[in-house]
Amino acid sequence: MAKTMAVNVGSSSLKFQLLEMPAERVIANGVIERIGMDDAIVTIKYGEQRSAEQLAVHSEDNAHVTHTKNGKKYENILAIKDHQQAINFVLQQLTTLDIIQDFNEITGVGHRVVAGGEWFNHSVVVTDSVLEKIDRLSDYAPLHNPANAMGIRAFQKLLPNALSVAVFDTSFHQTMPKENYLYSLPYQYYTRYGARKYGAHGISHHYVSQRAAVMMNRNLSELKLITLHMGAGVSITAIEDGKSIDTSMGFSPLSGVTMATRSGDVDPSLVYYIQEHEGLSNDDMVNILNKKSGLLGISTISSDMRDLLDVQDTNDHAQLAVKIFVNRIVKYIGQYIAEMGGVDAIIFTAGIGENSIPVRQMIIERLSYFGIELDVEANNVRGQEVEISTAASRVKALLIPTNEELMIAREVESLK
């Protein structure tokens, strides 16, 4: 059966999942971190379920394979100088580990691309002109688009016969009406520079909205949904008729709610005020807003929600960070309910959404005024697709693990 690779290339990392399509069976997944370093870390998980746990079967230099109850795990630490070498290594390893016999088995490669601007409102087969546009959109996502383009070129070199598809994180939000995507700035900045809201996490919001309709046994076209993607990056989307009509992230992923290290919405004049008083360059300030703010900035101890929840009873800063996080989300939900004139379901996904029982509880309890009621017992789970509101609840609360890789593989399949 044909195999499709779903790829997510970051500035120093490469994540992939290999799926048998159209059966949608995951054959392997993996990650290379610290690309460009002498001690890059490679992890590949593959194989069928095994009963023996942690049984080492092969070990050589830094490389080793262990059997776990979920299959096999290959791990290695080695020097990887760039993305091309990372991709060469992964493909080579897929054959060495007998996951594939021949590169030609991989008939499609879908790449997550962060910024698609107004040019891409759906996934496309990569051509020279598509690649050129992805390059030109690097202004909008300077850390991501160049890496995405590099990944596409590197895979094309090694798998020239595979269909190469770009799946954009912004496409799903291209349905937003102008009154929602435009900032209240002089109009010429929009026409000159495309200064507007593009949103992000579109692949995830799209996936969980489709799953929600299946779980609710309703047509997407008749539903009003609010999807909460709460990972290290957090974004909230209002979805009507299966289409994104508003989202909390903006021109870049910096705006909206409080995130792990990103500030979310801030009065722009405050940014200049702080810069002036602290003598910070533009780059320094952008770095503070992206990397030193959010949960980390407020709590001063950690960007990880788990750490904050662990100490919030004894640490005022941690408690405040959690409160602000929940509060900002509740406010956006209120806005979107007003905007859509109601809501049928609220969906929780990504790291915090899938795993944090108390955060889901805190959010839902603040929303009881419009008839949503938490089923405390049903909510006591992690990472499963499940309804977490009571049967009597007028508005449903759903926990839906996201699956961006599957969505990417489906997009490749639809363009074959």
Binding ligand ADP by CB under 6 A: which of 148, 170, 263, 355?
A: 355
Residues 159, 109 contacting (CB under 8 angstroms): yes
For the CB of residue 359, give the shortest distance to ligand ADP in the complex, in Å: 6
Q: Where are the alpha helices (DSSP H) in 113-236?
A: 128-136, 145-158, 178-181, 187-193, 202-216
* Residue among 310, 415, 410 at smallest CA distance from 359: 310
Residues 413, 108 contacting (CB under 8 angstroms): yes
Please tell me which residue in 38, 82, 139, 169 is annotated as part of the active site. 169
Percent of the chain that is helix, strand, coil (3-state, to 5): 40, 25, 35
Cβ-based nearer residue to ligand ADP, 60 or 377: 377
Cβ-based nearer residue to ligand ADP, 123 or 235: 235
260 makes contact with ligand ADP (CB under 6 A): yes
Rounded-to-integer distance, Cα 171 and Cα 404, Å? 14
Binding ligand ADP by CB under 6 A: which of 4, 252, 261, 356?
A: 356
Task: Point out which span in 15-23, 74-82, 145-153, 229-237 binds ligand ADP (CB under 6 A).
Answer: 229-237
Q: Map residue 363 onto helix, strand or coil.
A: helix
Interacting positions 312-341 with ligand ADP (CB under 6 A): none
233 makes contact with ligand ADP (CB under 6 A): yes
For the CB of residue 321, give the shortest distance to ligand ADP in the complex, in Å: 11
Binding ligand ADP by CB under 6 A: which of 18, 126, 238, 352?
A: 352
Rounded-to-integer distance, Cα 321 and Cα 300, Å? 9
For the CB of residue 306, give the shortest distance to ligand ADP in the complex, in Å: 4
Rounded-to-integer distance, Cα 408 and Cα 16, Å? 11
304 makes contact with ligand ADP (CB under 6 A): yes
* Residue among 221, 226, 220, 168 at smallest CA distance from 199: 168
Longest dimension (CA), the chain: 64
Active site residue 102: no
Task: Point out which span in 39-47, 96-104, 164-172, 227-235 binds ligand ADP (CB under 6 A).
Answer: 227-235
Binding ligand ADP by CB under 6 A: which of 41, 232, 301, 378?
A: 232
What b/e readout covers 183-218, taking b as 16+ CB neighbours within 10 angstroms? eeeeeeeeeeeebbbbbbbbbbbbbbbebbbebbee
Rounded-to-integer distance, Cα 19 and Cα 72, Å? 16
Cβ-based nearer residue to ligand ADP, 355 or 379: 355
Task: Point out which span in 80-88, 111-119, 263-271, 298-306 binds ligand ADP (CB under 6 A).
Answer: 298-306
Binding ligand ADP by CB under 6 A: which of 199, 256, 351, 401?
A: 351
306 makes contact with ligand ADP (CB under 6 A): yes
For the CB of residue 148, give the shortest distance to ligand ADP in the complex, in Å: 16
Strands 345-349 and 396-399: parallel
347 makes contact with ligand ADP (CB under 6 A): no
Which helix (H) or strand (E) segment holds residue 361: the answer is helix 357-365
Binding mask 41-80 for ligand ADP (x = CB under 6 A): ----------------------------------------
- Which residue ranges make up the site for ligand ADP (CB under 6 A)? 231-233, 260, 304-306, 350-352, 355-356
Catalytic residues: 169
